[in-house]
DNA sequence: TGATTTTGTTGACATTTATCAACAGCTAAG
DNA sequence: CTTAGCTGTTGATAAATGTCAACAAAATCA
């Protein structure tokens, strides 16, 4: 079990990204509960409803889908300081087509859908903040679509290497490959070709 | 010149997707101005700042990027009843990497970034509605990412044919191909292979 | 620690898709 | 009507990427 040792990252992030008072930050932080996870633990299973939004204190979560042959494809990687879940399921509270899993060990906080609605009432400015979170996530997904439709695997690899060098140190290669939309063999060859 | 003949689609859409009063719907509709367009007119040029959000009354807009060799890639297609623009530029009010263009003839309304902020003040519920628009756009972009990383061109083609059969009747094949992330030759072959 | 599973690399080959070129059909303009 | 341009199709070929298999290295667990 990896127990959260601290919940400071969320508070820090709120201070940086919003102008919420310390009191309100405390309210928000209190609404997110530390959730102990095991190595590679699955947080949302395909077919479940995503009931929680997860804030990553440390490590990574991956959101992935599987095809008929059981191949996995990583839709998103959520790194420390970011939050996410199987989003389409979370906002609609309907069955998820994707799964969410810890990559190795991760420390996360979570807030339920219902608690989040209550938080909007308690801290109205939080709703605007949430909108910003969505906007940012949307912008980064647009960026992702662009690279997927306009670049070949080598260009995507080099771009990610430039934008997220840490990922290559901290994440297993097959996860990176799934994220890039290529096989682990192709990624391995791109690395050695440099 | 294609002059908007009606602005009913926006009002209709607002009635369906929100519980705004008729008075407030009128306010919102009044804030969107008809913008006459020419055949294939470019609304946002790469390098510009996207100053307007466009609502499509009729026809289609395409949001596309170009690579170094001048190849074009369609990031999004905005159909009648939807709104959009070069979104990352619009929300940040920074230079756009993408262009927005009418596909053939289109009838559009537009609202400036500043007007939109004013509209939030005048009609507070509109802000929540806007958040929903973003959420939906985000969800559809997630869907797009999934298909791009997990399906080959034939699977993507068949899925689009199923989800958006009208597009194949109303849009030129090269635009569809760009949207699917394949060449027009490959699309042509997929069609004939069936 | 040693055993076992996971992860990463490499090779041979197959498949998918892009590129380049030629051409037919259609449309718009003079 | 005729020409020029645009759109879509088809063929030949090349390039990119996936698949399958074998193996090496590393991490995990009992």
Domain ranges of chain A: 8-126
pLDDT at site A53: 96
CATH no. of A8-126: 2.60.120.10
Instruction: Give the start-end residues of each E strand in chain B.
Output: 33-35, 42-44, 52-66, 72-79, 83-84, 99-112
Under the phi-then-psi rule, with left for phi > 0, alpha for psi from -120 to 50, and beta for the rest, what region is B32? beta
DSSP assignment of B135-149 equals HHHHHHHHHHHHHHH
Question: Cβ B75–A149 below 8 Å, yes or no?
Answer: yes
How many beta carbons lie within 10 A of that of residue B100, not counting itself? 29
pLDDT at site B91: 93
pLDDT at site A182: 96
Q: Is the Cα torsion angle A15, A18, A24, A28 positive or negative in sign?
A: negative
CATH architecture of structural domain B8-123: Sandwich (2.60)
Set of chain B residues whose Cβ sits within 8 Å of the Cβ of A64: none
> Which of A120, A125, A131, A138 is the best mutation test for B, with the most CBs of B within 10 A?
A138
Is the Cβ–Cβ distance between A88 and B142 less than 8 Å? yes
Residue B165's contacts (CB-CB under 8 Å, 6 or more residues apart) are none
Taking the CA of residue B77 and the C1' sugar atom of nucleotide C22, their distance in angstroms comes to: 32
Question: Cβ A146–B75 below 8 Å, yes or no?
Answer: yes
Residues of chain A with pLDDT under 50: 1-5
Between A153-163 and A125-150, two packed helices, what is the crossing angle to 10 degrees?
140
DSSP assignment of A156-171 equals HHHHHHHH-HHHHHHS
Taking the CA of residue A71 and the C1' sugar atom of nucleotide D22, their distance in angstroms comes to: 21
Residue whose C-alpha is closest to residue B171's, from B147, B187, B150: B187
How many beta carbons lie within 10 A of that of residue A163, not counting itself? 11
Rounded CA separation A59/B165 (Å)? 42
Rounded CA separation B102/B100 (Å)? 7
Taking the CA of residue B125 and the nearest CA in chain A, the distance in Å comes to 13
B120 touches chain A (CB under 8 A): no
Residues of chain B with pLDDT under 70: 1-7, 194
Rounded CA separation A84/B4 (Å)? 41
A141 touches chain B (CB under 8 A): yes
Q: Which of B91, B145, B150 sits opposite A135 (nearest CB)?
A: B91
pLDDT at site A194: 60
pLDDT at site B82: 93
Mean of all residue pLDDT scores within chain A: 91
Rounded CA separation B194/B192 (Å)? 5
Is the Cβ–Cβ distance between B50 and B92 less than 8 Å? no
pLDDT at site B8: 83
């Amino acid at each position: 079990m990896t127990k959260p040792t601290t919940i400071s990252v969320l508070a820090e992030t709120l201070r940086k990204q919003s102008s919420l008072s310390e009191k309100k930050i405390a309210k928000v932080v209190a609404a997110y509960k530390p959730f102990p996870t095991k190595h590679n633990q699955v947080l949302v299973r395909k077919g479940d409803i995503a009931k929680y939004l997860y804030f990553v204190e440390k490590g990574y979560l991956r959101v992935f889908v599987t095809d008929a042959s059981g191949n996995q494809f990583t839709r998103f990687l959520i790194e420390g300081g970011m939050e996410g879940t199987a989003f389409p399921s979370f906002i609609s509270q309907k069955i998820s087509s994707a799964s969410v899993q810890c990559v190795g060990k991760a420390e996360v906080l979570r807030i339920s859908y219902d608690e989040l609605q209550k938080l909007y009432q308690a801290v109205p400015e939080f709703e605007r903040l949430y909108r910003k979170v969505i906007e940012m996530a949307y912008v980064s997904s647009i960026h992702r679509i662009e690279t997927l439709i306009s670049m070949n695997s080598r260009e995507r690899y080099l771009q990610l290497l430039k934008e997220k060098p840490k990922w290559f140190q901290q994440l297993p290669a097959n996860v990176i490959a799934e994220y890039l939309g290529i096989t682990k063999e192709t990624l391995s060859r791109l690395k050695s070709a440099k």
